[in-house]
Amino acid sequence: MDFLESLNVHPLLIQLITVLFIFLIAAIIHRLAWHIAGLILRFYEFSPTNLPAHLQHHTGQEGSSKLIGRLLEWLPGELKAMPLPDEQRRQTLQEILSSAISVIAFVLAALASLGQFATATTVVTVTGLLISALAFAGRTVIADYLAGFGILFQDQFYVGEKIKVKAQTDVIEGTVEQVSLNATWLRALTGEVYVIANGEMRWICNYSRGIYSSANITLKIMATDLSRTVPLLEKLGQEAETLFEEMHGPWQVISETGVIAEQVELTLAVRAHFGQAVHLRPKLLSFLQERLTLAEIELVS
Asked if residue 139 and residue 57 are part of one domain, the reply reads: yes
- pLDDT at position 154 over 80: no
Question: Contact at 8 Å (CB) between 260 and 284?
Answer: no
Asked if residue 137 and residue 73 are part of one domain, the reply reads: yes
pLDDT (0 to 100) of residue 283: 93
Question: Contact at 8 Å (CB) between 171 and 203?
Answer: no
For the chain, the average pLDDT equals 79
What whole-number distance in Å separates Cα of residue 99 and Cα of residue 174?
23
Instruction: Over range 114-125, report the average pLDDT.
Output: 76
Q: What proportion of the chain, given as a percentage, has pLDDT over 70?
A: 79
CB count within 10 Å of CB 78 equals 7
Question: Contact at 8 Å (CB) between 250 and 183?
Answer: no
Asked if residue 130 and residue 75 are part of one domain, the reply reads: yes
- Strand boundaries in the chain, DSSP class E: 162-167, 170-179, 183-188, 193-197, 201-206, 212-214, 217-222, 252-254, 263-269, 271-273
pLDDT, tens only, 24-71: 999 999 899 888 888 877 765 555 455 545 444 545 555 554 555 555
Instruction: Over range 136-150, report the average pLDDT.
Output: 75
**190 burial via Cβ count (<10 Å: 0-12, 13-18, 19+):** exposed
Domain of 195, CATH number, reads 2.30.30.60
Domain of 269, CATH number, reads 3.30.70.100
Q: What angle do CA 16, 18, 22 make, to 5 degrees?
A: 115
Asked if residue 169 and residue 133 are part of one domain, the reply reads: no
- pLDDT at position 266 over 50: yes
pLDDT, tens only, 281-293: 999 999 999 999 9
Domain extent for 113: 2-148
